[in-house]
Structure 1
Amino acid sequence: MRAHPSSSRQWRVPAALPVLKLAGAVALLGLGLLFADGAPVPVVLAGLAAAGLAGWAVRDLVAPVRLAVDAEGVTVVQGWAGRRRLPWSAIEAVGVDRRPRLGLVSEVLEIDTGESLHLFGRYDLGADPAEVAEAVNAARPAR
């Protein structure tokens, strides 16, 4: 079944995720200050870890939409918060890579253009990668 040509969809980072990351950054900084006992090294290390986590959260707030699909093609996030438009003609394959790790199965959506590979996990999409792959393939015009 193919989607209507005017239909478009987008997948984004769940709204709670950047909030959790920011809360984690505050907690890291607080723990660093609590256990520092006057030593600067734990505070600096906690501050660096907190800054990294906060930067990751800011990226989720600045570029929450990781993947968008419409009749002309796919738009993916590229770099820290940039966008890249991929016309359907440039996309060779859309699929899901499943790998067992530590007793769990990890799934990643792969969009392959031949020249680049775009990967999206569940927390990038806010949805199951297999369902997103199915929706992306359904939106693709018949070849």
Structure 2
Amino acid sequence: MDGSDEPGASSAWAAPWPAVVAGAVAAIGLAAWAVSADDAPGRVLTGVAAVVLAVAAVIGAVARPRLRADETGLALRGATGTRRWPWERVDAVRTMRMRRMGLPTSYLEVEARDEPGRDEPEPDSRLLVLGRLELGADPVEVADALQVHRARAGRARGLERQGTEGDEHDEDDGDPADGEEPGRRP
């Protein structure tokens, strides 16, 4: 994770470089195996696996950082670009814990709503699911950091609103011309 606990700082998470490099090396190895394989079905399966690993390695290298958060919202970077959601459009941030092949694992889940388009009155809802490999960190720690950013954004919005509301919360000082005492209401 990049960033700090300072207000205004951003945090970012991405796949670790050793995993990206290992995926690229494995893709090259599988491609070489596919070329040298004698049986056609084995060649096809190994070739497909090589292509999948190569695509995953390229996305891991290009989509950096995968997830970024600050007080304005969060951004998810993919192979085709970056999508951003302000915190007002993020409905939930949570982790999902489960067992995969007998081992405990956790995933980060973020529910976010896109901005409504001209042709669609309702915004699209999205469920973003990110694992440890995509984030390069424990999803539970990432969820905690996202909640901190979200809380800071809420406090900042509250302070902005408080400063723009005017004098409606001020006490009535009374009007000496009416015979009222300051601070007392009839």
Which TM-score band (shorter chain)?
A: 0.7 to 0.9
Which amino acid in structure 1 is aligned with residue 53 of structure 2? Answer: L
Contact 1:59 1:81 in 2 (8 A): no
State the 1:46 CA deviation. Answer: 2.5
Contact 1:29 1:43 in 2 (8 A): no
**SS at 2:145 equivalent:** helix
Which of structure 1's runs of 4+ aligned residues deviate more than 6 A? none
- TM-score normalised by length of structure 2: 0.67
What is the rounded CA distance, in whole Å, between the counterparts of 1:46 and 1:125 in structure 2? 27
What is the rounded CA distance, in whole Å, between the counterparts of 1:93 and 1:123 in structure 2? 21
Tell me the equivalent position of 1:68: 68
Tell me the equivalent position of 1:101: 100
- Specify which structure has the higher proportion of strand: 1
What is the rounded CA distance, in whole Å, between the counterparts of 1:81 and 1:64 in structure 2? 12
Is 1:14 equivalent to 2:16 in the alignment?
yes
What is the rounded CA distance, in whole Å, between the counterparts of 1:25 and 1:4 in structure 2? 41
- TM-score normalised by length of structure 1: 0.85
List alignment gaps of at least 5 residues for structure 2: 114-124, 156-186
Tell me the equivalent position of 1:29: 31
Tell me the equivalent position of 1:142: 154
State the 1:108 CA deviation. Answer: 0.4
Which amino acid in structure 1 is aligned with residue 14 of structure 2? Answer: R
**SS at 1:92 equivalent:** strand
Cα distance 1:48–1:102, how it changes in 2: closer, same or farther (>3 A)?
closer
What is the rounded CA distance, in whole Å, between the counterparts of 2:75 and 2:7 in structure 1? 16
State the 1:41 CA deviation. Answer: 4.7
Using the aligned pairs only, state the percent identity: 36
What is the rounded CA distance, in whole Å, between the counterparts of 1:107 and 1:113 in structure 2? 19
State the 1:4 CA deviation. Answer: 4.0
Aligned-CA RMSD value? 1.9
126, 147, 150: which one aligns with 1:116: 126
**SS at 1:13 equivalent:** coil
Tell me the equivalent position of 2:85: 86
State the 1:40 CA deviation. Answer: 4.8
Is 1:51 equivalent to 2:51 in the alignment?
yes
Contact 1:33 1:42 in 2 (8 A): no
List alignment gaps of at least 5 residues for structure 1: none
Structure of higher RCO (CA pairs closer than 8 Å, 6+ residues apart): 1
What is the rounded CA distance, in whole Å, between the counterparts of 1:51 and 1:142 in structure 2? 44
Instruction: Judge which range, 47-56 or 18-27, deviates more.
Output: 47-56
